[in-house]
């Protein structure tokens, strides 16, 4: 089982966490939505995997490139 | 030959020629070639064979090098560390060359005339014959050991870069970084229309780790300093990254298939086998109902252009803008599309730099441009201001306004401000078509209401409600159909009609394009 990181491509704030810990995602699925430039930008689980941990809660600010969730796959 | 009497003198000369050629084929020798292969790298001869049409390489300067003699009799030759000549790619002639790393690390070689690198024979060949130049770079440039050999220190860039610069306005120049490139070869890689490097086995920098450690005390590996994660993804120094050398060669061939041989010709037209009137139904639903939600712009591009014709330039750099070469009814076009998944498509400094280069590339080689627009404006915020987004953005607008190649604007969703203006053809036909989902203006309504109607809002019993009310009023007036009534936009189309509509105009522009071939002059001072 490899440890995988889901990173945000954009600076903004966590708008909506659309998944739950323990949920298994397919490659390309959305982990959460970031609000940036008045848009809802998805954070994608590039390789899929099972969500182990979220690093941010809804409403918190995040910076481009930060890890928002840890997955195992 | 068989019928002629033996000629011992000629036999000796032919034998010497054969020996010299065999020595050249050995490159730096079996041991050196073995080490090179162990590092996962191909030799320069293997590279040339990999990129050009099979059997098409006609080498020039095969005998160059340092002969070894015993009592005046040749015993061997250390070849010059550069292999080059004439070849074909897709049956069209190209000048191709590259450093031979197996001979003294491919460092500069001083003969009567340079073979390659800036100002070498291979560049003269591309210039004189007006054919594309393919540089396969694997060298670290000059070495301080040359001071000892010459007895003096060479003035930098004595001659040669002027030819490299000249070529940028004449013929397609492709540079592949296939090892560690520093100094001159690294600089040469940048003076290209398109550049590519190979993951894990290639790096590019102004100076390598030893110089960096001595100058700044930073201890970095070659990969940390100039691998694709820096050079391609962050800096955009090199345009694309390939997974392997074989993939790199395929990408070079593919890139050149979109290019004319020179600026005095138009790019080749290919039979696309994809109906011009193909109207993809998925285009109708690709833009989400909510204007806050992004969508897959690459998927949209693929549905519009000829099937399998999309070749993306700089896919991992300046990602707010997608730039790709493609074909429409077989004719080469450049597509610039905003990516709403990256900051809503807002143009940041990197995206602007990428767009500037791509517009210049297409203008230089007479390739019409299609803008698929969804841009809320320039990127905002302190970081964006510090990165000179405004200057880079205006430079992009400036270059777009100087370009004379036909441009077609299709507004998919947002088209705001100066960034939106940079996606139009103010010098030419200025054809702007829009989808019904389009919206435009100097700035988005929600960004401007609070400032423009401040007194009105402040005077209201419920300021927030009043602001929303004004926003709703303005949004109703901002329907694209109202602008179309005033002919402020030339057409609103069903999204499915995008391909046939554009193909009609691109087909019709071919005659005009033939009348405007040649070098493109560059006047003025870029902001």
- Check whether residue B368 and residue B300 sit in a common domain: yes
Domain boundary among B219, B242, B257: B257
Q: What's the CA gap between B400 and B394, in Å, rounded?
A: 10
* Minimal C-alpha gap between B145 and chain A (Å): 43
- Check whether residue B243 and residue B293 sit in a common domain: no
Q: What's the CA gap between B8 and B15, in Å, rounded?
A: 10
* Predicted pLDDT at B263: 98
Tokens read off for B133: 């130049």
Instruction: Please give the tally of structural domains in chain B.
Output: 3
pLDDT 10s digits, A8-67: 988 999 999 999 999 999 999 999 999 988 888 999 999 999 999 999 999 999 998 899
Pairing verdict, β B65-70 and A39-45: unpaired
Residues of A in contact with B381 (CB under 8 A): 11
On whether the CB atoms of residues B223 and B231 are closer than 8 A, the answer is no
Alpha carbon B17 to its chain centroid, in Å, reads 41
The answer to whether A63 faces chain B, any CB pair under 8 Å, is no
**Do the domain assignments include residue B266?**
no
- Check whether residue B473 and residue B385 sit in a common domain: no
Give CA torsion, residues B513, B517, B523, B527, to 10 deg. 50
* Predicted pLDDT at B144: 67
- Check whether residue B115 and residue B249 sit in a common domain: yes
The answer to whether B383 faces chain A, any CB pair under 8 Å, is yes
On whether the CB atoms of residues B141 and B177 are closer than 8 A, the answer is no
Residue tagged 């159909």 (tokens): B481
- Check whether residue B29 and residue B114 sit in a common domain: yes
For Cα atoms B346, B350, B353, give the angle at the middle one, nearest 5 degrees: 105
- Check whether residue B65 and residue B133 sit in a common domain: yes
**Do the domain assignments include residue B269?**
no
So what's the ipTM on this one?
0.79
Three-class SS of residue B134?
strand
With a cut of 70, which residues of chain B have pLDDT below it?
A: 1-7, 9, 106, 108, 141-144, 157-158, 447
* Predicted pLDDT at B170: 98
**Do the domain assignments include residue B455?**
yes
**Do the domain assignments include residue B368?**
yes
Tokens read off for B426: 């103010």
- Check whether residue B146 and residue B45 sit in a common domain: yes
pLDDT 10s digits, B445-480: 776 788 888 888 999 999 989 988 998 888 888 889
Q: What are phi and psi of B26, to 5 degrees?
A: -75, -10
CATH of A3-72, picked from 3.60.20.10, 3.40.50.10490, 3.90.550.10, 2.40.50.100, is 2.40.50.100
* Minimal C-alpha gap between A70 and chain B (Å): 21
Q: What are phi and psi of B300, to 5 degrees?
A: -60, -45
Range of the domain at B386: 281-438+489-514
Pairing verdict, β B194-198 and B240-242: parallel
Max Cα separation, chain A? 37
Listed residue (B194, B125, B137) closest to B163, CA to CA = B125
Q: Which of B319, B342, B446 sits opposite A38 (nearest CB)?
A: B446
Query: Left if phi > 0, otherwise alpha if psi is -120 to 50, otherwise beta: which for A59?
Result: left
Residue from B234, B292, B471 to probe the interface with A (highest A Cβ count within 10 Å): B292
Q: Which residue of B has its CA nearest to A11?
A: B343
In this prediction the pTM is: 0.92
Neighbouring-strand partners of residue B369: B334, B407
**Do the domain assignments include residue B108?**
yes
We report the CATH number of the domain holding residue B305 as: 3.90.226.10
* Predicted pLDDT at B161: 86
Residues of A in contact with B290 (CB under 8 A): 40
The answer to whether A28 faces chain B, any CB pair under 8 Å, is no
Do residue B293 and residue A38 have CB atoms under 8 angstroms apart?
A: no
Angle between helices B297-304 and B498-508 (to 10 degrees): 60
**Do the domain assignments include residue B523?**
no
Q: What's the CA gap between B348 and B387, in Å, rounded?
A: 8
Q: What are phi and psi of B53, to 5 degrees?
A: -60, 145
Do residue A10 and residue B446 have CB atoms under 8 angstroms apart?
A: no
Residues of B in contact with A39 (CB under 8 A): 292-294, 340, 343-344
* DSSP E strand stretches across B188-291: 194-198, 203-205, 240-242
Do residue B376 and residue A37 have CB atoms under 8 angstroms apart?
A: yes
Residue tagged 């041991």 (tokens): B31
Q: Which of B343, B444, B446 sits opposite A36 (nearest CB)?
A: B343
* DSSP E strand stretches across B133-251: 133-137, 173-177, 180-182, 194-198, 203-205, 240-242
- Check whether residue B376 and residue B310 sit in a common domain: yes
B236 CB neighbour count, 10 Å cutoff: 17
The answer to whether A38 faces chain B, any CB pair under 8 Å, is yes
Number of residue pairs across A and B with CB atoms under 8 Å? 37
- Check whether residue B202 and residue B347 sit in a common domain: no
């Amino acid at each position: 089982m490899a440890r995988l990181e889901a990173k945000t491509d954009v600076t903004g704030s966590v708008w909506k966490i659309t998944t739950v810990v323990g949920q298994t995602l397919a490659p390309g699925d959305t982990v959460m939505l970031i609000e940036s430039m008045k848009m809802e930008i998805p954070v994608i689980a590039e390789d899929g995997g099972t969500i182990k941990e979220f690093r941010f809660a809804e409403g918190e600010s995040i910076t481009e490139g930060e890890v928002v969730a840890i997955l195992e796959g | 030959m068989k019928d002629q009497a033996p000629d011992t003198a000629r036999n000796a000369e032919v034998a010497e020629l054969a020996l010299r050629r065999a020595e050249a084929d050995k490159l730096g020798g079996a041991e050196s070639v073995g080490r090179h292969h162990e590092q996962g790298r191909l030799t320069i001869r293997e590279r040339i064979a990999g990129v050009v049409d099979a059997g098409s390489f006609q080498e020039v300067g095969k005998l160059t090098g340092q002969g070894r003699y015993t009592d005046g009799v040749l015993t061997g030759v250390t070849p010059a560390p550069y292999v080059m000549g004439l070849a074909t790619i897709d049956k069209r002639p190209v000048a191709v060359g590259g450093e031979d790393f197996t001979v003294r690390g491919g460092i500069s070689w001083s003969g009567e005339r340079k073979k390659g690198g800036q100002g070498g024979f291979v560049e003269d060949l591309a210039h004189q014959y007006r054919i594309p130049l393919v540089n396969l770079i694997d060298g670290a440039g000059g070495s301080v050991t040359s001071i000892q050999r010459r007895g003096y220190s060479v003035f930098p860039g004595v001659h040669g870069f002027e030819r490299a610069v000249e070529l940028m306005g004449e013929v397609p120049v492709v540079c592949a970084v296939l090892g560690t490139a520093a100094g001159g070869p690294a600089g040469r890689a940048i003076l290209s229309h398109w550049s590519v490097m190979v993951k894990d086995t290639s790096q590019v920098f102004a100076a390598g780790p030893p110089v960096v450690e001595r100058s700044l005390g930073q201890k970095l590996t070659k990969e940390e300093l100039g691998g694709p994660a820096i050079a391609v993804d962050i800096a955009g120094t090199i345009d694309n990254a390939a997974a392997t050398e074989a993939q790199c060669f395929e990408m070079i061939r593919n890139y050149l298939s979109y290019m004319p041989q020179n600026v005095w010709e138009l790019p080749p037209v290919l039979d696309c086998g994809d109906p011009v009137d193909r109207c993809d139904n998925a285009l109708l639903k690709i833009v989400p109902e909510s204007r806050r939600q992004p969508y897959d712009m690459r998927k949209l591009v693929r549905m519009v252009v000829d099937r399998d014709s999309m070749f993306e330039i700089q896919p991992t750099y300046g990602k707010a803008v997608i730039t790709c070469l493609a074909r429409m009814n077989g004719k080469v076009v450049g597509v610039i599309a905003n990516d709403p998944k990256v900051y809503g498509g807002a143009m940041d400094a990197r995206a602007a730099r990428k767009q500037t280069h791509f517009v210049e590339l297409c203008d230089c080689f007479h390739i019409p441009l299609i803008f698929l627009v969804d841009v809320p404006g320039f990127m905002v915020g302190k970081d964006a201001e510090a990165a000179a987004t405004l200057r880079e953005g205006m430079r992009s607008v400036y270059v777009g306004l100087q370009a004379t190649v036909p441009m077609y604007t299709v507004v998919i969703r947002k088209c705001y401000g100066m960034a939106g203006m940079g996606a139009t053809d103010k010098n030419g036909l200025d054809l702007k078509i829009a989808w019904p989902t389009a919206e435009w203006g100097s700035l988005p309504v929600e960004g401007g209401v609070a400032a423009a109607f401040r007194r009105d809002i402040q005077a209201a019993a419920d300021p927030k409600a009043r602001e929303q009310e004004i926003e709703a009023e303005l949004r109703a007036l901002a329907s694209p159909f109202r602008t179309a009534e005033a002919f402020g936009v030339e057409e609103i189309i069903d999204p499915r009609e995008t391909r046939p509509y554009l193909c009609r105009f691109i087909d019709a522009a071919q005659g005009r394009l033939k009348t405007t071939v040649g070098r493109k002059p560059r006047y003025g001072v870029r902001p």
